[in-house]
A and B are shown apart, each in its own frame.
Chain A
Amino acid sequence: MARSVDAARPWTISRGHAWLLAAPLVFLAIFFLWPLARVVVRGFVDPALGLGNYARIFGDGPYLRVIWNTIETAAAVTAICLVVAYPVAYVMARARGAWLQIMAALIVIPLWTSVVIRSYAWMVVFQRRGVLNDLLLGLGLVDTPVRFLPGSIGVHVGMVHIMLPFMILPLVANMRGIDQTLLRAAEILGANPFNAFLRVFLPLSLPGINAGVALVFMTSLGFFITPALLGGPQHMMAAVLIEQQANVYLNWGLASALASTLLVVTLAIYLFYLRVTGGAAGTAIGR
Protein backbone atom coordinates (compact mmCIF):
# COMPACT_ATOMS: atom_id res chain seq x y z
CA MET A 1 0.00 0.00 0.00
CA ALA A 2 2.77 2.38 0.97
CA ARG A 3 4.34 1.86 -2.42
CA SER A 4 1.35 2.92 -4.47
CA VAL A 5 0.81 5.98 -2.28
CA ASP A 6 4.46 6.84 -2.70
CA ALA A 7 4.28 6.56 -6.46
CA ALA A 8 1.30 8.94 -6.48
CA ARG A 9 3.20 11.79 -4.81
CA PRO A 10 6.57 12.44 -6.36
CA TRP A 11 6.90 15.75 -4.52
CA THR A 12 6.21 14.79 -0.87
CA ILE A 13 8.41 15.23 2.16
CA SER A 14 9.14 11.52 2.00
CA ARG A 15 11.15 11.62 -1.16
CA GLY A 16 14.62 12.81 -1.89
CA HIS A 17 15.21 14.06 1.61
CA ALA A 18 18.09 11.76 2.34
CA TRP A 19 20.19 14.90 2.72
CA LEU A 20 18.53 15.32 6.12
CA LEU A 21 20.82 12.53 7.21
CA ALA A 22 23.86 14.29 5.79
CA ALA A 23 24.55 16.57 8.78
CA PRO A 24 24.25 13.87 11.47
CA LEU A 25 26.17 11.37 9.35
CA VAL A 26 29.02 13.78 8.58
CA PHE A 27 29.14 14.62 12.29
CA LEU A 28 29.27 10.94 13.26
CA ALA A 29 31.80 10.16 10.53
CA ILE A 30 34.23 12.78 11.89
CA PHE A 31 33.65 12.35 15.62
CA PHE A 32 32.64 8.70 15.94
CA LEU A 33 33.74 6.51 13.01
CA TRP A 34 37.05 8.29 12.33
CA PRO A 35 38.17 8.09 16.01
CA LEU A 36 37.24 4.38 16.09
CA ALA A 37 39.25 3.79 12.90
CA ARG A 38 42.23 5.55 14.45
CA VAL A 39 42.02 3.37 17.56
CA VAL A 40 42.05 0.20 15.45
CA VAL A 41 44.97 1.39 13.28
CA ARG A 42 46.95 2.65 16.27
CA GLY A 43 46.79 -0.79 17.86
CA PHE A 44 48.85 -2.09 14.93
CA VAL A 45 51.33 0.77 14.42
CA ASP A 46 52.17 2.21 17.84
CA PRO A 47 54.96 1.91 18.99
CA ALA A 48 56.02 -0.22 15.98
CA LEU A 49 54.24 -1.64 12.95
CA GLY A 50 53.08 -5.19 13.60
CA LEU A 51 51.22 -7.40 16.01
CA GLY A 52 53.42 -6.52 18.99
CA ASN A 53 50.57 -5.13 21.09
CA TYR A 54 48.38 -8.14 20.42
CA ALA A 55 51.25 -10.50 21.23
CA ARG A 56 51.52 -8.78 24.60
CA ILE A 57 47.77 -8.95 25.22
CA PHE A 58 47.23 -12.56 24.22
CA GLY A 59 50.64 -13.80 25.40
CA ASP A 60 49.12 -15.17 28.59
CA GLY A 61 50.08 -12.15 30.64
CA PRO A 62 48.11 -10.08 33.12
CA TYR A 63 46.28 -8.38 30.21
CA LEU A 64 44.62 -11.59 29.06
CA ARG A 65 43.52 -12.20 32.65
CA VAL A 66 41.85 -8.79 32.72
CA ILE A 67 40.01 -9.54 29.46
CA TRP A 68 38.77 -12.88 30.81
CA ASN A 69 37.82 -11.26 34.09
CA THR A 70 35.85 -8.62 32.15
CA ILE A 71 33.92 -11.24 30.17
CA GLU A 72 33.34 -13.36 33.29
CA THR A 73 32.12 -10.40 35.33
CA ALA A 74 29.83 -9.18 32.53
CA ALA A 75 28.41 -12.71 32.15
CA ALA A 76 27.85 -13.07 35.91
CA VAL A 77 26.23 -9.64 36.18
CA THR A 78 23.97 -10.45 33.22
CA ALA A 79 22.94 -13.80 34.72
CA ILE A 80 22.22 -12.27 38.14
CA CYS A 81 20.27 -9.43 36.54
CA LEU A 82 18.15 -11.86 34.52
CA VAL A 83 17.32 -14.07 37.50
CA VAL A 84 16.52 -11.09 39.73
CA ALA A 85 14.72 -9.03 37.07
CA TYR A 86 12.45 -11.73 35.67
CA PRO A 87 10.14 -12.11 38.72
CA VAL A 88 10.12 -8.33 39.25
CA ALA A 89 9.16 -7.75 35.62
CA TYR A 90 6.50 -10.45 35.93
CA VAL A 91 4.93 -8.68 38.91
CA MET A 92 5.26 -5.30 37.22
CA ALA A 93 3.70 -6.49 33.96
CA ARG A 94 0.58 -7.47 35.92
CA ALA A 95 0.50 -4.41 38.18
CA ARG A 96 -2.11 -1.73 37.56
CA GLY A 97 -2.75 1.86 38.61
CA ALA A 98 -0.87 3.30 41.56
CA TRP A 99 1.24 0.17 42.15
CA LEU A 100 2.51 0.29 38.59
CA GLN A 101 3.38 3.98 39.02
CA ILE A 102 5.26 3.33 42.27
CA MET A 103 7.23 0.42 40.80
CA ALA A 104 8.09 2.42 37.69
CA ALA A 105 9.27 5.35 39.85
CA LEU A 106 11.45 3.10 42.03
CA ILE A 107 13.09 1.69 38.90
CA VAL A 108 13.52 4.99 37.06
CA ILE A 109 14.80 7.14 39.99
CA PRO A 110 18.06 5.18 40.43
CA LEU A 111 18.52 5.42 36.67
CA TRP A 112 18.58 9.20 37.05
CA THR A 113 21.09 9.09 39.91
CA SER A 114 24.69 9.61 38.87
CA VAL A 115 26.67 6.37 38.48
CA VAL A 116 29.63 7.92 40.31
CA ILE A 117 27.38 8.77 43.26
CA ARG A 118 25.81 5.31 43.36
CA SER A 119 29.26 3.70 43.41
CA TYR A 120 30.21 6.08 46.22
CA ALA A 121 27.15 4.89 48.18
CA TRP A 122 28.31 1.29 47.80
CA MET A 123 31.74 2.33 49.09
CA VAL A 124 29.95 3.60 52.21
CA VAL A 125 28.15 0.25 52.53
CA PHE A 126 31.17 -1.98 52.02
CA GLN A 127 34.01 -0.09 53.69
CA ARG A 128 35.71 -1.34 56.87
CA ARG A 129 33.60 0.81 59.18
CA GLY A 130 30.65 0.66 56.81
CA VAL A 131 26.99 -0.26 57.05
CA LEU A 132 27.47 -3.92 56.24
CA ASN A 133 30.31 -4.44 58.72
CA ASP A 134 28.30 -2.65 61.43
CA LEU A 135 25.43 -5.01 60.72
CA LEU A 136 27.62 -8.14 60.74
CA LEU A 137 29.39 -7.06 63.96
CA GLY A 138 26.07 -6.11 65.56
CA LEU A 139 24.59 -9.51 64.77
CA GLY A 140 27.71 -11.17 66.12
CA LEU A 141 28.35 -12.96 62.81
CA VAL A 142 31.96 -11.74 62.70
CA ASP A 143 34.38 -10.58 65.41
CA THR A 144 36.46 -8.18 63.34
CA PRO A 145 35.40 -6.06 60.35
CA VAL A 146 35.54 -7.96 57.06
CA ARG A 147 37.62 -6.41 54.29
CA PHE A 148 35.21 -6.20 51.31
CA LEU A 149 37.01 -3.43 49.42
CA PRO A 150 38.60 -3.60 47.02
CA GLY A 151 37.13 -6.84 45.74
CA SER A 152 34.70 -8.64 43.54
CA ILE A 153 31.65 -8.57 45.86
CA GLY A 154 31.41 -4.79 45.71
CA VAL A 155 31.89 -4.81 41.93
CA HIS A 156 29.09 -7.33 41.39
CA VAL A 157 26.63 -5.70 43.79
CA GLY A 158 27.35 -2.25 42.35
CA MET A 159 27.14 -3.35 38.71
CA VAL A 160 23.93 -5.36 39.18
CA HIS A 161 22.44 -2.30 40.85
CA ILE A 162 23.21 -0.13 37.82
CA MET A 163 22.20 -2.69 35.17
CA LEU A 164 19.01 -4.06 36.75
CA PRO A 165 16.64 -1.41 35.27
CA PHE A 166 18.07 -2.18 31.80
CA MET A 167 17.02 -5.81 32.25
CA ILE A 168 13.65 -5.13 33.93
CA LEU A 169 12.36 -2.60 31.38
CA PRO A 170 12.76 -4.65 28.14
CA LEU A 171 11.26 -7.64 30.00
CA VAL A 172 8.25 -5.62 31.16
CA ALA A 173 7.76 -4.18 27.66
CA ASN A 174 7.73 -7.72 26.27
CA MET A 175 5.60 -9.29 29.02
CA ARG A 176 2.90 -6.63 28.76
CA GLY A 177 2.41 -7.72 25.16
CA ILE A 178 1.88 -11.40 26.02
CA ASP A 179 -1.73 -12.45 25.60
CA GLN A 180 -2.89 -13.70 29.02
CA THR A 181 -5.70 -15.74 27.46
CA LEU A 182 -3.04 -18.09 26.08
CA LEU A 183 -2.10 -19.02 29.66
CA ARG A 184 -5.75 -19.64 30.51
CA ALA A 185 -6.09 -21.73 27.39
CA ALA A 186 -3.13 -23.85 28.46
CA GLU A 187 -4.67 -24.38 31.92
CA ILE A 188 -8.06 -25.26 30.47
CA LEU A 189 -6.31 -27.79 28.25
CA GLY A 190 -4.91 -29.41 31.39
CA ALA A 191 -1.51 -27.80 32.01
CA ASN A 192 -0.78 -27.03 35.65
CA PRO A 193 0.32 -23.40 36.31
CA PHE A 194 3.98 -24.47 36.37
CA ASN A 195 3.74 -26.16 32.98
CA ALA A 196 1.71 -23.31 31.53
CA PHE A 197 4.46 -20.92 32.59
CA LEU A 198 7.28 -23.13 31.35
CA ARG A 199 5.76 -24.06 27.98
CA VAL A 200 3.77 -20.94 27.12
CA PHE A 201 4.82 -17.82 29.03
CA LEU A 202 8.59 -18.39 29.15
CA PRO A 203 9.00 -19.02 25.38
CA LEU A 204 6.83 -15.99 24.63
CA SER A 205 9.04 -13.82 26.85
CA LEU A 206 12.18 -14.92 25.00
CA PRO A 207 12.42 -11.75 22.83
CA GLY A 208 12.46 -9.64 26.02
CA ILE A 209 15.09 -11.92 27.56
CA ASN A 210 17.28 -11.68 24.45
CA ALA A 211 17.05 -7.88 24.30
CA GLY A 212 17.75 -7.47 28.03
CA VAL A 213 20.62 -9.95 28.07
CA ALA A 214 22.32 -8.39 25.04
CA LEU A 215 21.88 -4.86 26.41
CA VAL A 216 23.16 -5.69 29.90
CA PHE A 217 26.07 -7.83 28.72
CA MET A 218 27.21 -5.25 26.17
CA THR A 219 27.05 -2.39 28.67
CA SER A 220 28.71 -4.42 31.43
CA LEU A 221 31.76 -5.10 29.24
CA GLY A 222 32.56 -1.39 29.16
CA PHE A 223 32.06 -0.61 32.86
CA PHE A 224 34.62 1.77 34.30
CA ILE A 225 33.45 3.68 37.38
CA THR A 226 32.21 0.77 39.50
CA PRO A 227 35.22 -1.57 39.04
CA ALA A 228 37.65 1.35 39.36
CA LEU A 229 36.19 2.46 42.70
CA LEU A 230 35.18 -0.88 44.20
CA GLY A 231 37.35 -3.46 42.45
CA GLY A 232 40.87 -2.12 42.67
CA PRO A 233 43.78 -4.06 41.17
CA GLN A 234 42.27 -7.33 42.47
CA HIS A 235 39.24 -7.02 40.22
CA MET A 236 40.49 -5.10 37.19
CA MET A 237 38.21 -4.76 34.17
CA ALA A 238 39.06 -3.82 30.56
CA ALA A 239 37.91 -0.18 30.62
CA VAL A 240 39.89 0.49 33.81
CA LEU A 241 43.00 -1.09 32.28
CA ILE A 242 42.62 0.87 29.02
CA GLU A 243 42.19 4.18 30.84
CA GLN A 244 45.19 3.42 33.03
CA GLN A 245 47.42 2.39 30.11
CA ALA A 246 46.54 5.57 28.20
CA ASN A 247 46.32 8.16 30.98
CA VAL A 248 48.87 6.90 33.49
CA TYR A 249 51.45 4.89 31.51
CA LEU A 250 50.96 6.79 28.20
CA ASN A 251 51.00 3.37 26.54
CA TRP A 252 48.59 4.39 23.76
CA GLY A 253 49.46 1.54 21.39
CA LEU A 254 48.61 -1.12 23.93
CA ALA A 255 45.55 0.82 25.10
CA SER A 256 44.36 1.02 21.48
CA ALA A 257 44.87 -2.71 20.90
CA LEU A 258 42.95 -3.48 24.10
CA ALA A 259 40.19 -1.08 23.05
CA SER A 260 40.01 -2.72 19.59
CA THR A 261 39.59 -6.10 21.25
CA LEU A 262 36.79 -4.71 23.43
CA LEU A 263 35.26 -3.08 20.34
CA VAL A 264 35.14 -6.36 18.39
CA VAL A 265 33.44 -8.22 21.25
CA THR A 266 30.96 -5.39 21.87
CA LEU A 267 30.11 -4.98 18.18
CA ALA A 268 29.39 -8.70 17.87
CA ILE A 269 26.86 -8.41 20.71
CA TYR A 270 25.47 -5.18 19.25
CA LEU A 271 24.73 -7.00 15.97
CA PHE A 272 22.98 -9.74 17.96
CA TYR A 273 21.01 -7.05 19.81
CA LEU A 274 19.95 -5.42 16.52
CA ARG A 275 18.76 -8.82 15.29
CA VAL A 276 16.70 -9.63 18.40
CA THR A 277 15.12 -6.18 18.46
CA GLY A 278 14.20 -6.52 14.80
CA GLY A 279 16.78 -4.08 13.46
CA ALA A 280 15.05 -1.17 15.14
CA ALA A 281 17.97 -0.06 17.25
CA GLY A 282 17.07 1.21 20.67
CA THR A 283 13.41 0.25 20.57
CA ALA A 284 13.71 -1.93 23.66
CA ILE A 285 15.24 0.90 25.66
CA GLY A 286 13.38 3.71 24.02
CA ARG A 287 9.92 2.71 24.97
Chain B
Amino acid sequence: MAGGGILRIMLVGFAALVLGYLILPTFIVVPLSFSNQNYLSFPPPGWSTRWYEAMAGDLAWPQAAVNSFLIGVPTALLSVVLGTLAALAVKRGRLGWAAAASAVVVAPMLLPHVIMAIGLYPVMLDLGMLRGFLSVVVAHTVVAMPLVFITVCASLGSYGEALELAAMTCGAGPWATFRHVTFPMIRTGMLVGGVLAFATSFDELMLSLFLTGPGTRTLPRLIWEQLNMFLTPTIAAVATLIFAFSLLLLGAAAALQARGRAQPVLRHG
Protein backbone atom coordinates (compact mmCIF):
# COMPACT_ATOMS: atom_id res chain seq x y z
CA MET B 1 0.00 0.00 0.00
CA ALA B 2 3.02 2.32 0.39
CA GLY B 3 3.50 2.15 -3.39
CA GLY B 4 -0.12 3.18 -3.76
CA GLY B 5 0.56 6.32 -1.73
CA ILE B 6 3.38 7.46 -3.99
CA LEU B 7 1.28 6.75 -7.06
CA ARG B 8 -1.53 8.81 -5.56
CA ILE B 9 0.75 11.79 -4.95
CA MET B 10 2.05 11.54 -8.52
CA LEU B 11 -1.51 11.42 -9.88
CA VAL B 12 -2.62 14.45 -7.90
CA GLY B 13 0.57 16.33 -8.87
CA PHE B 14 -0.03 15.56 -12.53
CA ALA B 15 -3.65 16.72 -12.27
CA ALA B 16 -2.47 19.97 -10.65
CA LEU B 17 0.00 20.55 -13.53
CA VAL B 18 -2.71 19.98 -16.14
CA LEU B 19 -5.13 22.33 -14.39
CA GLY B 20 -2.35 24.94 -14.28
CA TYR B 21 -1.90 24.55 -18.04
CA LEU B 22 -5.66 25.03 -18.51
CA ILE B 23 -5.72 28.29 -16.58
CA LEU B 24 -2.34 29.62 -17.83
CA PRO B 25 -3.53 31.77 -20.80
CA THR B 26 -5.73 33.80 -18.46
CA PHE B 27 -2.76 34.58 -16.25
CA ILE B 28 -0.91 35.89 -19.27
CA VAL B 29 -3.59 38.00 -20.91
CA VAL B 30 -4.78 39.87 -17.80
CA PRO B 31 -1.37 41.25 -16.66
CA LEU B 32 -0.44 41.97 -20.28
CA SER B 33 -3.41 44.32 -20.64
CA PHE B 34 -1.87 46.55 -17.94
CA SER B 35 1.54 46.72 -19.63
CA ASN B 36 3.17 50.09 -20.32
CA GLN B 37 5.01 48.75 -23.37
CA ASN B 38 3.69 48.52 -26.90
CA TYR B 39 5.11 45.05 -27.50
CA LEU B 40 3.97 41.83 -25.90
CA SER B 41 6.80 41.28 -23.45
CA PHE B 42 5.88 39.19 -20.44
CA PRO B 43 5.93 39.87 -17.58
CA PRO B 44 5.36 43.53 -18.48
CA PRO B 45 8.30 45.81 -17.49
CA GLY B 46 5.92 48.42 -16.08
CA TRP B 47 2.22 49.05 -15.53
CA SER B 48 -0.30 51.43 -17.07
CA THR B 49 -3.89 51.66 -18.24
CA ARG B 50 -2.92 53.10 -21.64
CA TRP B 51 -4.29 50.10 -23.56
CA TYR B 52 -7.68 50.50 -21.94
CA GLU B 53 -7.55 54.17 -22.93
CA ALA B 54 -6.53 53.23 -26.47
CA MET B 55 -9.46 50.82 -26.65
CA ALA B 56 -11.91 53.40 -25.32
CA GLY B 57 -10.60 55.92 -27.85
CA ASP B 58 -11.29 53.61 -30.79
CA LEU B 59 -14.99 53.68 -31.66
CA ALA B 60 -14.75 50.35 -33.47
CA TRP B 61 -14.62 48.41 -30.16
CA PRO B 62 -17.80 49.72 -28.52
CA GLN B 63 -19.56 49.41 -31.90
CA ALA B 64 -18.51 45.76 -32.20
CA ALA B 65 -19.58 45.10 -28.60
CA VAL B 66 -23.02 46.58 -29.31
CA ASN B 67 -23.30 44.45 -32.46
CA SER B 68 -22.37 41.33 -30.49
CA PHE B 69 -25.26 42.02 -28.10
CA LEU B 70 -27.66 42.89 -30.91
CA ILE B 71 -26.87 39.47 -32.39
CA GLY B 72 -26.44 37.46 -29.17
CA VAL B 73 -29.70 38.40 -27.43
CA PRO B 74 -32.07 37.57 -30.35
CA THR B 75 -30.03 34.40 -30.95
CA ALA B 76 -30.61 33.33 -27.34
CA LEU B 77 -34.36 34.08 -27.53
CA LEU B 78 -34.85 32.27 -30.85
CA SER B 79 -32.74 29.33 -29.64
CA VAL B 80 -34.81 29.02 -26.45
CA VAL B 81 -38.10 28.92 -28.40
CA LEU B 82 -36.95 26.47 -31.07
CA GLY B 83 -34.78 24.35 -28.77
CA THR B 84 -37.57 23.97 -26.20
CA LEU B 85 -40.13 23.01 -28.86
CA ALA B 86 -37.75 20.38 -30.22
CA ALA B 87 -37.01 19.03 -26.73
CA LEU B 88 -40.73 18.79 -25.87
CA ALA B 89 -41.46 16.93 -29.09
CA VAL B 90 -38.55 14.51 -28.69
CA LYS B 91 -39.09 13.83 -24.98
CA ARG B 92 -42.91 13.94 -24.80
CA GLY B 93 -44.01 13.24 -28.35
CA ARG B 94 -43.60 9.45 -28.46
CA LEU B 95 -42.18 9.68 -31.94
CA GLY B 96 -40.71 6.63 -33.59
CA TRP B 97 -38.00 8.82 -35.07
CA ALA B 98 -37.11 10.81 -31.91
CA ALA B 99 -33.51 9.60 -31.99
CA ALA B 100 -33.07 10.68 -35.61
CA ALA B 101 -34.67 14.06 -34.87
CA SER B 102 -32.38 14.73 -31.92
CA ALA B 103 -29.35 13.67 -34.01
CA VAL B 104 -30.29 16.32 -36.61
CA VAL B 105 -30.91 18.99 -33.95
CA VAL B 106 -27.55 18.38 -32.22
CA ALA B 107 -25.46 17.95 -35.39
CA PRO B 108 -24.88 21.68 -36.12
CA MET B 109 -23.13 22.06 -32.77
CA LEU B 110 -20.58 19.39 -33.64
CA LEU B 111 -20.01 19.83 -37.38
CA PRO B 112 -17.23 22.21 -38.50
CA HIS B 113 -18.67 25.71 -38.77
CA VAL B 114 -16.78 26.36 -41.98
CA ILE B 115 -19.03 23.89 -43.84
CA MET B 116 -22.17 25.69 -42.67
CA ALA B 117 -20.58 29.08 -43.38
CA ILE B 118 -19.91 28.40 -47.05
CA GLY B 119 -23.34 26.77 -47.37
CA LEU B 120 -25.22 29.60 -45.67
CA TYR B 121 -23.47 32.37 -47.59
CA PRO B 122 -25.23 31.69 -50.94
CA VAL B 123 -28.52 30.91 -49.18
CA MET B 124 -28.46 34.28 -47.38
CA LEU B 125 -27.44 35.95 -50.65
CA ASP B 126 -30.52 34.45 -52.38
CA LEU B 127 -32.77 35.54 -49.51
CA GLY B 128 -31.34 39.06 -49.66
CA MET B 129 -30.31 38.83 -45.99
CA LEU B 130 -26.54 38.89 -46.37
CA ARG B 131 -24.60 41.33 -44.15
CA GLY B 132 -27.74 42.11 -42.14
CA PHE B 133 -28.27 41.27 -38.49
CA LEU B 134 -30.94 38.68 -39.29
CA SER B 135 -28.59 36.45 -41.30
CA VAL B 136 -26.09 36.16 -38.43
CA VAL B 137 -28.86 35.68 -35.84
CA VAL B 138 -30.29 32.82 -37.90
CA ALA B 139 -26.86 31.22 -38.44
CA HIS B 140 -25.95 31.51 -34.76
CA THR B 141 -29.30 30.04 -33.78
CA VAL B 142 -28.55 26.95 -35.88
CA VAL B 143 -25.38 26.27 -33.86
CA ALA B 144 -26.69 27.52 -30.46
CA MET B 145 -30.10 25.80 -30.43
CA PRO B 146 -28.59 22.35 -29.61
CA LEU B 147 -27.43 23.69 -26.23
CA VAL B 148 -30.98 24.68 -25.28
CA PHE B 149 -32.24 21.39 -26.66
CA ILE B 150 -29.78 19.43 -24.48
CA THR B 151 -30.42 21.36 -21.26
CA VAL B 152 -34.22 21.23 -21.69
CA CYS B 153 -34.11 17.52 -22.56
CA ALA B 154 -32.18 16.98 -19.31
CA SER B 155 -34.83 18.97 -17.38
CA LEU B 156 -37.65 16.98 -18.98
CA GLY B 157 -35.85 13.75 -18.15
CA SER B 158 -35.50 14.74 -14.48
CA TYR B 159 -39.17 14.19 -13.63
CA GLY B 160 -41.83 11.76 -14.74
CA GLU B 161 -44.65 12.34 -17.16
CA ALA B 162 -46.95 11.30 -14.32
CA LEU B 163 -47.03 14.94 -13.15
CA GLU B 164 -48.39 16.10 -16.50
CA LEU B 165 -50.77 13.15 -16.63
CA ALA B 166 -52.07 14.07 -13.16
CA ALA B 167 -52.73 17.66 -14.23
CA MET B 168 -54.64 16.48 -17.28
CA THR B 169 -56.60 13.92 -15.33
CA CYS B 170 -57.72 16.79 -13.11
CA GLY B 171 -59.07 18.49 -16.19
CA ALA B 172 -56.26 20.80 -17.32
CA GLY B 173 -55.89 21.21 -21.08
CA PRO B 174 -52.53 20.82 -22.86
CA TRP B 175 -51.77 24.56 -22.63
CA ALA B 176 -52.70 24.85 -18.94
CA THR B 177 -50.65 21.73 -18.24
CA PHE B 178 -47.66 23.24 -19.97
CA ARG B 179 -48.00 26.60 -18.19
CA HIS B 180 -48.55 25.29 -14.69
CA VAL B 181 -46.68 21.98 -14.66
CA THR B 182 -44.15 21.59 -17.48
CA PHE B 183 -42.91 25.18 -17.70
CA PRO B 184 -42.03 25.55 -13.99
CA MET B 185 -40.10 22.28 -14.22
CA ILE B 186 -38.05 23.20 -17.30
CA ARG B 187 -37.71 26.96 -16.67
CA THR B 188 -34.18 26.59 -15.27
CA GLY B 189 -33.11 24.42 -18.19
CA MET B 190 -34.48 26.98 -20.64
CA LEU B 191 -32.68 29.86 -18.88
CA VAL B 192 -29.36 28.01 -18.66
CA GLY B 193 -29.73 26.97 -22.31
CA GLY B 194 -30.41 30.60 -23.21
CA VAL B 195 -27.26 31.78 -21.41
CA LEU B 196 -25.24 29.07 -23.18
CA ALA B 197 -26.76 30.08 -26.53
CA PHE B 198 -25.85 33.72 -25.92
CA ALA B 199 -22.30 32.73 -24.96
CA THR B 200 -21.99 30.63 -28.13
CA SER B 201 -23.06 33.55 -30.29
CA PHE B 202 -20.82 35.95 -28.35
CA ASP B 203 -17.73 33.81 -29.12
CA GLU B 204 -18.58 32.64 -32.65
CA LEU B 205 -16.14 33.68 -35.37
CA MET B 206 -16.49 31.60 -38.54
CA LEU B 207 -20.15 32.28 -39.37
CA SER B 208 -19.65 35.96 -38.52
CA LEU B 209 -16.64 36.06 -40.82
CA PHE B 210 -18.81 35.06 -43.79
CA LEU B 211 -22.13 36.67 -42.88
CA THR B 212 -21.40 40.02 -41.21
CA GLY B 213 -20.53 43.24 -42.99
CA PRO B 214 -18.86 46.44 -41.80
CA GLY B 215 -22.08 47.51 -40.05
CA THR B 216 -22.70 44.20 -38.28
CA ARG B 217 -19.12 43.26 -37.35
CA THR B 218 -18.99 41.35 -34.04
CA LEU B 219 -16.33 41.47 -31.29
CA PRO B 220 -14.65 38.16 -32.24
CA ARG B 221 -14.48 39.32 -35.86
CA LEU B 222 -12.91 42.66 -34.91
CA ILE B 223 -10.39 40.93 -32.62
CA TRP B 224 -9.63 38.57 -35.49
CA GLU B 225 -9.03 41.39 -37.97
CA GLN B 226 -6.83 43.23 -35.46
CA LEU B 227 -4.83 40.10 -34.66
CA ASN B 228 -3.97 39.68 -38.31
CA MET B 229 -2.70 43.26 -38.51
CA PHE B 230 -0.94 44.21 -35.29
CA LEU B 231 -0.29 42.60 -31.97
CA THR B 232 -0.57 45.45 -29.46
CA PRO B 233 -1.78 44.87 -25.89
CA THR B 234 -5.05 46.66 -26.85
CA ILE B 235 -6.38 43.21 -27.67
CA ALA B 236 -5.30 42.02 -24.21
CA ALA B 237 -7.36 44.85 -22.68
CA VAL B 238 -10.39 43.85 -24.77
CA ALA B 239 -9.77 40.19 -23.90
CA THR B 240 -9.65 41.00 -20.17
CA LEU B 241 -12.99 42.79 -20.32
CA ILE B 242 -14.55 39.93 -22.31
CA PHE B 243 -13.09 37.44 -19.83
CA ALA B 244 -14.63 39.35 -16.90
CA PHE B 245 -17.96 39.38 -18.72
CA SER B 246 -17.73 35.63 -19.47
CA LEU B 247 -17.08 34.96 -15.78
CA LEU B 248 -20.26 36.90 -14.99
CA LEU B 249 -22.18 34.75 -17.49
CA LEU B 250 -20.65 31.58 -16.05
CA GLY B 251 -21.57 32.75 -12.54
CA ALA B 252 -25.13 33.44 -13.69
CA ALA B 253 -25.44 30.02 -15.31
CA ALA B 254 -23.93 28.30 -12.27
CA ALA B 255 -26.25 30.16 -9.88
CA LEU B 256 -29.25 29.25 -12.03
CA GLN B 257 -28.23 25.62 -12.02
CA ALA B 258 -27.55 25.58 -8.29
CA ARG B 259 -31.18 26.64 -7.91
CA GLY B 260 -32.21 23.89 -10.30
CA ARG B 261 -30.18 20.73 -10.37
CA ALA B 262 -26.42 20.22 -10.37
CA GLN B 263 -25.14 19.80 -13.90
CA PRO B 264 -21.81 21.10 -15.26
CA VAL B 265 -21.97 24.20 -17.41
CA LEU B 266 -20.36 23.61 -20.75
CA ARG B 267 -19.82 25.42 -23.92
CA HIS B 268 -18.66 24.23 -27.26
CA GLY B 269 -15.34 25.81 -28.28
Contacts and interface: CB of A to CB of B under 8 A. Distances in A.
A224 B208 CA distance: 13
Contacts of B95: 18, 21
B206 A224 contact: yes
Contact of A219 (B15, B18, B110, B227): B110
A229 B227 contact: yes
B86 interface: yes
Contacts of A36: 115-116, 119
Interface stretch (B47-55, B58-66, B69-77, B259-267): B259-267
A259 B114 contact: yes
B185 interface: no
User: Chain B interface secondary structure, helix, strand, loop or mixed?
Assistant: helix
A207 interface: no
Interface stretch (A47-55, A139-147, A198-206, A274-282): A274-282
B32 interface: yes
B224 A246 contact: no
B90 A6 contact: no
Contact of A242 (B103, B107, B118, B154): B118
B227 A120 contact: yes
B249 interface: yes
B153 A9 contact: no
Interface in B86-100: 86, 88-90, 92-95, 99
Interface in A57-108: 84-85, 87-88, 90-92, 103-104, 106-108
Contact of B85 (A12, A23, A114): A23
A185 interface: no
Contact of B102 (A121, A169, A281): A281
Contact of B119 (A39, A116, A125): A39
A166 to B, nearest CB: 8
Interface in B10-40: 11-12, 14-15, 18-19, 21-26, 28-29, 32, 39-40
A107 B19 contact: yes
Contacts of A131: 28, 42
A123 B223 CA distance: 14
A162 B266 CA distance: 12
B269 A21 contact: no
Contacts of B153: 282, 286
Contacts of B11: 87, 90-91
Contacts of A56: none
Interface in A251-287: 252, 255-256, 259, 262-263, 266-267, 270, 273-274, 279-283, 285-287
A222 B108 CA distance: 12
A113 B118 contact: no
29 contacts: A5-B165, A13-B92, A21-B89, A23-B81, A25-B101, A38-B122, A87-B11, A90-B11, A108-B250, A110-B23, A110-B25, A111-B267, A114-B220, A115-B269, A116-B205, A116-B220, A121-B25, A124-B40, A131-B42, A169-B264, A238-B114, A252-B118, A262-B112, A262-B114, A266-B110, A270-B107, A279-B103, A281-B103, A281-B106
Given A31-B142, A113-B246, A114-B243, 5 more contacts: A23-B85, A36-B119, A127-B40, A224-B112, A247-B209
Interface of A: 5-6, 9, 11-15, 17-21, 23-25, 27-28, 30-39, 42, 84-85, 87-88, 90-92, 103-104, 106-118, 120-125, 127, 129-131, 134, 161-166, 169, 193, 215, 218-219, 221-222, 224-225, 229, 238-239, 242-243, 246-247, 252, 255-256, 259, 262-263, 266-267, 270, 273-274, 279-283, 285-287
